[in-house]
Amino acid sequence: MRDQAFVAAALALLVASSAAAHEPTVSLDPTAALRTSQAAVGREIGERRLRDIGGRPVNLARYRGKPLVVNLVYTACSDTCPVIVQSLARAVETAQSALGRDRFAVVTIGFDSRTDTPERMRAFARAQGIDLPNWEFLSADHTTVDALTEELGFIYFASPNGIDHLAQVSVIDASGRVYTQVY
């Protein structure tokens, strides 16, 4: 429980400080989005099968036993998603320094199943300069993305700008339940 609380606090402080300087132009209903996201707290995340940047299968259940930070992006985003990932990287470095590198894991998952392939996720990670231990970039098919975003309370939709989405990072506890949401 202590690790989850520390990870959540570090994420909240560091992500919020960077995101405040970069307001997204997302046209979400903030009240409904927050309600949907908060309703996911306590919800168990299923044993979803995804693919790593090498195309190998990865089951989310393999991360059970320690906190997991889940960040959803789409690789065609050149604005908000890179800022969120770079802010998250600073938070992860701080948390790893305080807790130890092996105390929690991080996954960034592409939610645009049409284009967020393992190759695109690899290129996105490289473009963001992410090379931290216990951080993987994953992709999934449409059915898996839909189920996972529902479980996480993550909202996204097609828009004239591409895809609009909630700027959310989820902290999953050691038993696989949503512990908290960081915006």
Q: Is 35 helix (H, G, I), strand (E, B) or coil?
A: helix
pLDDT band, very low/low/confident/very high, at 19 (cuts 50, 70, 90): very low
The residue whose two tokens read 């967020």 is 116
| C-beta of residue 108 within 8 angstroms of C-beta of residue 73 | yes
Beta-bridged to residue 44, according to DSSP, are: 177
Q: Convert the pLDDT of each residue in 99-124 to its tens digit.
A: 999 999 999 999 999 999 999 999 99
Percentage of the residues of the chain whose pLDDT score is greater than 70: 85
C-alpha 55/C-alpha 51 separation (Å) is 5
Lookup: tokens for 48: 């979803």
Q: Which of 70, 85, 77, 75 is nearest to 130 (CA)?
A: 85
Q: Convert the pLDDT of each residue in 126-173 to its tens digit.
A: 999 999 999 999 999 999 999 999 999 999 888 887 788 888 999 999
| C-beta of residue 137 within 8 angstroms of C-beta of residue 53 | yes
Taking every pair of Cα atoms in the chain, the longest distance, rounded to a whole number of angstroms, is: 42
Under DSSP, the state recorded for 45 is P
Instruction: Supply the pLDDT for residue 18.
Output: 44
Q: Is 8 helix (H, G, I), strand (E, B) or coil?
A: helix
